[in-house]
Amino acid sequence: MTPPSVYEHFQVTDLDHPDGVYRVVGTDDGTVTLLRVADADGQRVNSGEIVTVRSDELAECPEAKNPDGNRPLGEKVTSNLMMTFWSLRAFAQQLVVHPIPSVLAVALVAIGVVGEEFVQLPSAAQSALILGGSLGLAYIGSGRL
């Protein structure tokens, strides 16, 4: 029998480990390292549980589908909306934590956008101010400051 390939999935039920779907993450002489990626019902879990079993033990387990694609559409949409909300919240918090650089970056963008009404600037300078201010906001909001 050929050893399983990395990223193959198996439904484990009879071994001394929790039942569920396991992904092959490594193979060695006679052993296979597995990561549990779903519970016994096939629902995705992030357990971080890694086990090593003998290849002949795993040969008795049936192959399984990758559980990464079995989330309902509503759950995917909700997850993406929540991720967007928390990303924007973290970005805004970083701007609040660093008020002086944030105000300077916003001022650069504002001068680049509406500065031509108050001061004659070449269009290249306006573009540079908008770009510099935007990059500054991205840098500050990323939490790297």
Burial of 12 (0-12, 13-18, 19+ CB in 10 A): buried
Give residue 106's identity as a one-letter amino acid code.
Answer: V
Separation CA 65–CA 32 (nearest Å): 18
Residue 22 host element (H or E): strand 20-28
Residues β-bridged to residue 21:
11, 38
- Domain end marker among 34, 54, 69: 69
- Domain end marker among 69, 85, 118: 69
Contact 78/102 with Cβ under 8 angstroms?
Answer: no
Question: What are the pLDDT digits (tens) for 28-81?
Answer: 888 999 999 998 888 888 888 999 998 888 888 889 888 877 667 887 899 899
pLDDT at 1: 58
- Beta carbons within 10 angstroms of residue 107's beta carbon: 14
pLDDT at 18 over 80: yes
Residue 37 host element (H or E): strand 31-38
Q: Is residue 85 part of a domain?
A: yes
Question: What are the pLDDT digits (tens) for 96-108?
Answer: 999 999 999 999 9
Please give the tally of structural domains in the chain: 2
Task: Quote the domain boundaries for residue 123.
Answer: 73-141
DSSP, collapsed to helix, strand or coil, labels residue 123 as helix
Q: Is residue 2 part of a domain?
A: no
Q: What sections of the chain are H helices per DSSP?
A: 55-59, 73-97, 99-114, 123-141
Q: Is residue 1 part of a domain?
A: no
- This prediction has a pTM of 0.55
